[in-house]
Amino acid sequence: MDDELQPPPETGPPSEYARDRVPLLEVDNVTLRFGGVVALNQVNFTLYEHEILGLIGPNGAGKTTCFNAMTGVYTPTEGAIRFRGGNISGLLRHKITKLGIARTFQNIRLFPEMTALENVQVGADAHHRTSVPSALLRLPRHWQEEKDGRELADHLLEFVGIADRMHELSRNLPYGYQRRLEIARALATKPTLLCLDEPAAGFNPAEKEDLLQLIRRIRDTGVTVLLIEHDMRLVMGVTDRIVVLEFGRKIADGTPAEVGADPKVHAAYLGVPVDAA
């Protein structure tokens, strides 16, 4: 069982991108309480530009809660979330998206009655300024933004590999296509940081491999990636660093190799008491 936590042999040295270590998102001593439940307890870590960071932990550890806090769905009870130095806790969600943070969802939340293309176009609209008057009167801005949005959507659908079914209703797409569509839609908002919530859930190994390549390609375009995942092989294979949560606290933070060897992490997953390890 321990073997699963060792990084697979093909992993190279930590990514050269992350060597610059420019902080992008800081989770600054964040505590999040829901009534009596403490979902996050003084969680503290930094996400650097251009790296791929994995957020892992056993079920109930608070990963998705942390995720939600980082993307503006929840406001921290204490502490702050800083993006490029500016505090984003409490900002309106669509403003956070405009600042450059995009996400996908654990249980897919596409717009079911829109086609794949339209779903991505909604994402592309995030930076558009056309509003009712421009649309009503068909002003040049409308035409320009529609053209740009369509081009971006076409490109992204191609990039994630689902362009062949772009005119189908999103709820009719096969599962793998839907997951990739969500990623395309998030990318359409031109993010600096892309947060993926269990993007490989339900994938077979071949699909996971494709996803791994896709994530690398996304990072190559300059986007920083944050990833929640349960599949250790995937996490170890694609991430530059990993943060481990358990019961709302951070228990480890380091490269895959470091985390894979950490006894606290083993204990968290296997339930073995630390002193007996």
- Summarize as ranges the residues that interact with another protein (CB under 8 A): 71-73, 92-94, 97-98, 102-103, 105, 109-114, 118, 121-123, 125-128, 130-132, 135-138, 142, 145-146, 149, 167-169, 171-172, 185-186, 189
Task: Compare residues 146 and 154 and give the one whose CB is closer to another protein.
Answer: 146
Of 122, 124, 103, the closest CA to residue 113 belongs to: 122
Task: Please answer whether residues 41 and 57 qualify as being in contact, where contact means their C-beta atoms are separated by less than 8 angstroms.
Answer: no
Rounded to an integer, what distance in angstroms lies between the CA atom of residue 20 and that of residue 260? Answer: 24
Task: Compare residues 132 and 206 and give the one whose CB is closer to another protein.
Answer: 132
Rounded to whole angstroms, the maximal C-alpha distance in the chain is 72
Task: Compare residues 168 and 253 and give the one whose CB is closer to another protein.
Answer: 168
Output the smallest distance, CB 258 to another protein, in A.
33
Task: Compare residues 122 and 257 and give the one whose CB is closer to another protein.
Answer: 122
Output the smallest distance, CB 71 to another protein, in A.
7
Output the smallest distance, CB 208 to another protein, in A.
25
Rounded to an integer, what distance in angstroms lies between the CA atom of residue 259 and that of residue 4? Answer: 12
Distances (CA, A) of 112 to 109, 146, 167, 173: 8, 21, 13, 10
Output the smallest distance, CB 170 to another protein, in A.
10
* Upper half-sphere CA count for residue 100 (Cβ side, 13 Å): 13
Task: Compare residues 95 and 217 and give the one whose CB is closer to another protein.
Answer: 95
Output the smallest distance, CB 247 to another protein, in A.
27
Q: Dihedral sign, CA of 41, 195, 182, 92?
A: positive
Rounded to an integer, what distance in angstroms lies between the CA atom of residue 248 and that of residue 268? Answer: 12
Rounded to an integer, what distance in angstroms lies between the CA atom of residue 127 and that of residue 88? Answer: 18
Task: Compare residues 188 and 268 and give the one whose CB is closer to another protein.
Answer: 188
Of 179, 220, 177, the closest CA to residue 199 belongs to: 179
Output the smallest distance, CB 223 to another protein, in A.
15
CA angle 264, 267, 271 (to 5 degrees): 155
Task: Compare residues 142 and 250 and give the one whose CB is closer to another protein.
Answer: 142
Rounded to an integer, what distance in angstroms lies between the CA atom of residue 190 and that of residue 118? Answer: 16
Output the smallest distance, CB 181 to another protein, in A.
12
